[in-house]
Amino acid sequence: MSKLKIAIQKKGRLSEKSLQLLEECGIKFPNGGGKLVATSTNFPIEILFLRDDDIPQYVEQQVADIGIVGENVLIESQKKIKPVQQLGFSSCRLSLAVPKETNYTDLSYFNGKKVATSYPNILSDYFQKNNIEATIEIISGSVEIAPGIGLANAICDIVSSGSTLFSNGLKEVEKIFSSQAILIASQNLDLEKQSLLNKLLFRINAVRKAKENKYILLNAPNNCLEKITQILPGVNSPTILPLAQKGWSSLHSVISEDKFWDIIDELREAGAEGILVVPIEKFIA
C-alpha cells in the first residue's frame, strides 16, 4: 500500500505544533532519537523532518507529497506547489522595522535606503507594488542586528510579540502580511495519495472544529425553553431531554468559542441554570 509522505520542520515551535496536530488526528508514530524519518504505526503516512526552508523544494520535487510550512516560507520559495489549507497555528507577521529613534512617517522613508532581510522575494514585490526604490541586503539569521552594525538602515523580518525588535533597539513600522502554518501539496499526487490526503484533511478539520467550539449542557424550566432554544441553535437545533423534576428539561448544544461568554450571559438572563461547558475532542459535522 502506498504511503503519504509529509515533510515538517525538524525542530522549533512549528515542528511541535505540527506533531501535536498529527497526534490529535489519532496518528501514532515513534518520535525521538534525532530520527529524520518516522513511519506511523496506524495510518499510511511517513514523516520527514527537514529544514523549513527546504520543505517547499522537497514537495515540488515530489520527495515529499505534502508538507507543513509557514505561509511566509511558501511565498518566499516561489515553488510550484499547491497550498491546501491554513492550519490556524504559528501565527506571525512579516514587517518592516527601523531604529526606534527614527522619525518615521510613511513608506517613502525607504526610498534610497538599505533593508536587510531573509525574504528578498516578498520584500522586492512589496516595494515594487508601492513604488519604493530601496537596496535589499540578503542575510540569513540575526537580521535584527543589521542596523546596529551598519549593514542596513532597516530590516524586514518575521515578528511575533515584537520583543526581539525592542531588545535590539528597533520598532515595527509597516506590516507586509500575516502568516500562519499552511498545509501544502505536490501538484502531481496520484489518486491513491490524493485519497489519503483527503482522509487526513477530514481528521484535521474534525480537530480544528472541536477547538473552535464547546459542548454545553444546562437545565431550565420548560416555560423558558423557547427563548433559550433561540439562543442555542446548535448544529441543527438543541437536544432537549426531560428531567426527573417535573416542569424542567436539560438542553445540550454546541456553541462557538468566540461567542462563548456573550451566549452564557444571554442564557442566564433567559432562565438557564446549572450550565456545564465541556471541551470537544473531535467534531464531525
- Count of CB atoms within 10 A of residue 282's CB? 13
pTM, entire model: 0.86
Instruction: Give mean pLDDT, residues 45-51.
Output: 95
Mean pLDDT score across all residues of the chain:
93
Q: Is the dihedral of CA 83, 88, 89, 93 positive or negative?
A: positive
pLDDT tens for residues 63-100? 999 999 999 999 999 999 999 999 999 999 999 999 99
* Spatial separation of the C-alpha atoms in residues 23 and 218, rounded to whole Å: 32
Confidence of residue 105 (pLDDT cuts 50, 70, 90): very high
Question: Is 22 buried (19+), middle (13-18) or exposed (0-12) by CB count in 10 A?
Answer: buried
Nearest to 117 by CA among 92, 93, 142: 142
User: Which three cell numbers mark 128?
Assistant: 515594487
Beta pairing partners, 6 = 47, 66
Burial of 186 (0-12, 13-18, 19+ CB in 10 A): buried
Question: pLDDT tens for residues 220-270?
Answer: 999 999 999 888 866 667 889 999 999 999 999 988 888 888 888 899 999
User: What structural domains does the chain harbor?
Assistant: 4-89+180-210 (3.40.190.10), 92-179 (3.40.190.10), 213-279 (3.30.70.120)
pLDDT tens-digit series, residues 212-221: 888 999 999 9
pLDDT > 90 fraction of the chain, expressed in percent and rounded:
79
d(CA 278, CA 256): 12
Higher pLDDT, 34 or 10: 10
- Does 33 have pLDDT greater than 60? no
Mean pLDDT in residue range 187-192: 95
pLDDT tens digits, 123-151: 999 999 999 999 999 998 889 999 999 99
Neighbouring C-beta atoms of residue 1, cutoff 10 Å: 5
